[in-house]
Structure 1
């Protein structure tokens, strides 16, 4: 399954780059992630629980960042094993382009599954992979963008918006 997309993020390129390398940002952005340890240099260990169709599994795996060109591009690759449910692996090539005060983040994602998950059929798997990628990049955008004027109220819904951006400014 291949997926291509882009997002215009209302944050400077340095903030977006730093967010891509931060394990706390990644943990908050990966849907179903309960643990993320490690570093951008040595790689991350992650635990992710997801339900795909009728199959619910907890995947334990590794995530590596490679081909890093600071403030320009990197490749994220990961592989996880979900016991009897099977395995999932994939990667994303991410490119950043500054446009004034914003950053355009473009991505190409490739995902593969095996085991029980592969038996669900390509339509379910492709839809799930697209949903996961879209949700990750939407969560990432929300984490690194500074809160807007309308978001300043300290409600439950807006407390998390721009949390990484706020840390960088502190």
Structure 2
């Protein structure tokens, strides 16, 4: 019989959309619903004239993860465990979109592509549960490049009075591609005003 720690070590993690404020509904052409399983969605921009994108489409290109149910965009995703039946349903949902909206020749081909997209998203979820992930896409010299940043929950420490938590709720851990120009994302500012 497997011990509880063995089961958790075998659990698959994936990215799930999260909405900390209503801005995604105004920034993107279609916003993902909070709680959808997510992929990077870069495939939505293949073959498109990236340098001609404007407004909401440009915002979606630059920073949008894609919910597999809605094909809507989300600025942030969170790392969570996914059950096998949920993973199967996510592959099926994304495969239906790839087949019906993106022109995959067969549902089998769409399913293979969807499984590959979810496998890549799972590789980005190799962080602690609850870690937030943000993405920034660039188009340079005819190629799409992606950068990812993580925001991890901090352990709570008590203040001098022994009762109240001290420090911020998250710490920043930046994953930077040395070849790309530096650009900053204000994740704390996106969370809204302080109480």
| Global fold match (TM > 0.5) | no
Greater RCO (CA < 8 Å, at least 6 residues apart)? 1
- Greater percentage in strand: 1
Report the TM-score range of the alignment, normalised by the length of the smaller protein: 0.3 to 0.5
Q: TM-score, normalised by structure 2?
A: 0.30
TM-score by length of 1: 0.33
The higher radius of gyration belongs to: 2
